[in-house]
Structure 1
């Protein structure tokens, strides 16, 4: 029987070989199977897994970093066991704290990495080392997990996805410590400069400080996010005009137009955190959470971590051809991902057009049926009127016949 079957279909299905996949054939579905729900299944599955986002805040003490983080995530993200006397710290202390935030069934494991002691010592030469060591250590841990078969299935991502660098509201440009820090870390991690306590500056002073900072960033060739890494260049000008972001943090609420909003009260009035006329808090929050959080994570993996991984591999003497293969593989996977995304969008458009076309065809059939029914109704009404006239004529003839008979 197997030989008879093989001889019967010989030549129709050639052997694809050990390393090839057989060609596919288009099959037309006679009725829906639910394949179109696969993207929804992926969304539901991704919602079950918690998302991870690690953000580091760097800046001198007194710039309101903790208050700003509480305001940003609308939660009481209190620092665990804060040092009582920052001046007693001989070096920068790395203090990561993880929180679990839940919104509409989506869980976010947020790790806030504080750096108390940064810029608070007279000798600031060693302030950068603990931060750089921490970032590189997380990269090294992730690299080790990728090489392990047991850990590769579920790698815990502790890499720093974003650094918020807080600048004091001086009305001036970057200081020496700012230039040194940004220059050293801009190639290791995504950095977003922030001007804290913006309520201490007027609108004119804010614009002047922004211009001076941007001039220093260009002068020293400092790469900041998203200008140096964003792939969506169309929406980039809408974000760049607010960089560096001026922000205000507050744990208190003030009453504005009958509503309770986050803000600060002064003798001359109050400032609102979420008022675009007072600061750029809303634009920074949208960048970090609503629009670019996933891009920050992907940029960390595909750019900063990839550079660190390549440097470690080169240090061990791995041939450049292997690295080129890795880069080719990554680029090929990325291109395939974009192609599949475009194909999915095209299929959605085709299905939408097909649905609209079917609706139009159904409406045309219903309209034709309605016209046919109206014509049939008119025809029946005409026949009914004809029958009525005939009956009336017969009735009149009968009456005339009776009258003539009576006269006789």
Structure 2
């Protein structure tokens, strides 16, 4: 080690430093090599291994959580169980069940974590702890697997990637104390997506007012919900965030609407369609969870929530603060570098825009000058023509008099 250090500092073998690579040189290919197929190879390879997604549901009984999960994934994940005796419920249960879903060659190992008994007791102070313990236990198991001698690529990911929290459709006064306390405790540990269950019990006006009251409570009590607080790709989420918190209707049954079978519920006054935007926000919620942000939910869990748990565990284990400071310093340098690059790109874009505007204005001014010159030339020619016409008239009149 001393010899290596000495050689590096003598300049014979300069150390590029951590996370740095020597400067690359651009080489022009004489003919096609096949590098452009690398993304295709990666996609093909990624499809061989199943993806993993773990989703937890929480909320008071009777809000249709089981039916909602069946509707969300278009599969009979769970059967509706008979109503339990709430007076006999003593603790909150944690029931994870894993399913394998296949679509176009892509396999998803979906784990649905139910929390029966939440909010059913008169004393609800102990409702939160089993859920918090389960989430922390999965983080701890992942941390221990990272420290083990096994290959890290074989780590089984049981961490909770999303928590769907069901809010009762009261339609008044915003969140209840149980909702506020739960969301405050869990929003820093997991990606929380709030949902208003059984929204067909509310009118459109009631649902709109209830959403505004809930959003005010989120801001007042500093409740960080997904995707507003964590997602990076903001452009695609502006439209989805307009519908938050999502007021949803779920159903396992299909009804006939205009000769077409759709998921819905039939009432005496009409039919509520699950996937009709005018009746429910269900399609927007499915768009967020599955079609646009499923991978982002997994990455956010690892980069933000698990990283916070890991750093807290490292500190409690007595790791020197200097090591953590180095990690934080490196992350801050990377963030600053990203911000600097974004600012530089924005500055160059603004300069190019200003240059383009200047050239357009210059061209417009040049065209305007040419137009004015042509107009002046035309006026001069018209005056000369008028002068010649008058001269011809005078000469013609002189001939006639002669």
Give the TM-score normalised by the residue count of structure 2. Answer: 0.76
Separation (CA, whole Å) in 2 of partners of 1:315 and 1:60: 35
How many angstroms apart in 2 are the aligned matches of 1:335 and 1:70? Answer: 44
CA deviations on 1:87-141 (whole Å, 9 max, x unpaired) are: 4221100000000001111111111000000000111110000000000000000
- 2:62 corresponds to 1:62: yes
Structural mapping, 1:5-404, within 5 Å: 16-17=13-14, 24-78=24-78, 84-172=84-172, 173-328=174-329
User: 1:42–1:335: structure 2 CA closer, same or farther, 3 Å change rule?
Assistant: farther
Instruction: Give the 3 Å change call, closer, same or farther, for CA 193–114 of structure 1 in structure 2.
Output: same
Answer whether contact 1:16 1:22 (CA < 8 A) is retained. Answer: no
Offset of residue 244 of structure 1 = 0.5
The whole-number CA distance in structure 2 between the counterparts of 1:30 and 1:144 is 50
CA distance in 2, matches of 1:89, 1:335: 52
Flag the 1:59–1:326 CA change in 2: closer, same or farther, 3 A: same
State the shift of 1:337 in Å: 11
Residue pair 1:94, 1:131 contacting (<8 A) in 2 also: yes
Partner Cα distance (1:219, 1:175) in 2: 13
Task: State the distance in 1 between where 2:83 and 2:261 align.
Answer: 33
Deviations 1:44-77 (A, max 9, x none): 1111111111110001111100000000000001
Check conservation: 1:79, 1:97, Cα contact below 8 A: no
**Mapped contact 2:253–2:265 kept (Cα < 8 A):** yes
Structure 2: where are the runs of 5+ without partners?
1-10, 341-402
- Structure 1 window deviating more from structure 2 (165-174 vs 83-92): it is 83-92
The alpha carbon displacement at 1:324 in A equals 2.8
Instruction: Name the SS of the counterpart of 1:48 in structure 2.
Output: coil
Q: CA deviation at 1:229?
A: 0.8
Contact 2:67/2:80 (<8 A) preserved: no
CA distance in structure 2 between the partners assigned to 1:134 and 1:331 by the alignment: 31
Quote the Cα distance in structure 1 between the aligned partners of 2:258 and 2:40. 41
**Distance 1:22-1:133 versus aligned 2 partners, 3 A rule:** closer
Tell me the secondary structure at the aligned position of residue 217 of structure 2: helix
Q: CA deviation at 1:191?
A: 0.5
Check conservation: 2:66, 2:80, Cα contact below 8 A.
no
Once the two structures are TM-superposed, the CA of residue 160 in structure 1 deviates from its matched residue by: 0.5
Cα deviation, residue 79, structure 1:
5.4
Bigger Cα Rg: 1
Q: Residues 270, 306 of structure 1: CA spacing in aligned structure 2 closer, same or farther, 3 A cutoff?
A: same
Cα shift at 1:237: 2.5
> 1:259 and 1:83, CA in 2 relative to 1: closer, same or farther beyond 3 A?
closer
**1:26, CA displacement in angstroms?**
3.1
Q: How far apart, CA to CA, are the structure 1 residues paired with 2:33 and 2:319?
A: 49
Q: How many positions carry a matched residue from both structures?
A: 326
Partner of 1:394: none
State the distance in 2 between where 1:50 and 1:338 align.
35
Alpha-carbon distance change, 312 to 80 in structure 1, aligned in 2, over 3 angstroms: farther
Cα drift, residue 25 of structure 1: 3.8
State the secondary structure of the residue aligned to 1:205.
helix
Instruction: Kindly state the Cα deviation for residue 221 of structure 1 after the two structures are TM-superposed.
Output: 0.9
Q: Distance in 1 between matches of 2:235 and 2:126?
A: 40
Shift of 1:319: 1.9
Per-residue deviation at 1:151? 4.7
SS at 2:150's partner residue?
A: coil
Structure 1 portions without partners, runs of 5+: 1-13, 340-408
1:258 deviates by: 1.8
Structure 2 Cα separation of the partners of residues 301 and 82 of structure 1 = 37
After superposition, the Cα gap between the structure-2 partners of 1:325 and 1:209, relative to the gap in structure 1 and judged at 3 Å, is same
- Mapped partners of 1:43, 1:145: distance in 2: 27
1:149 Cα deviation after fit: 2.1
Whether the 8 Å CA contact 2:193–2:225 is kept in 1: the answer is yes
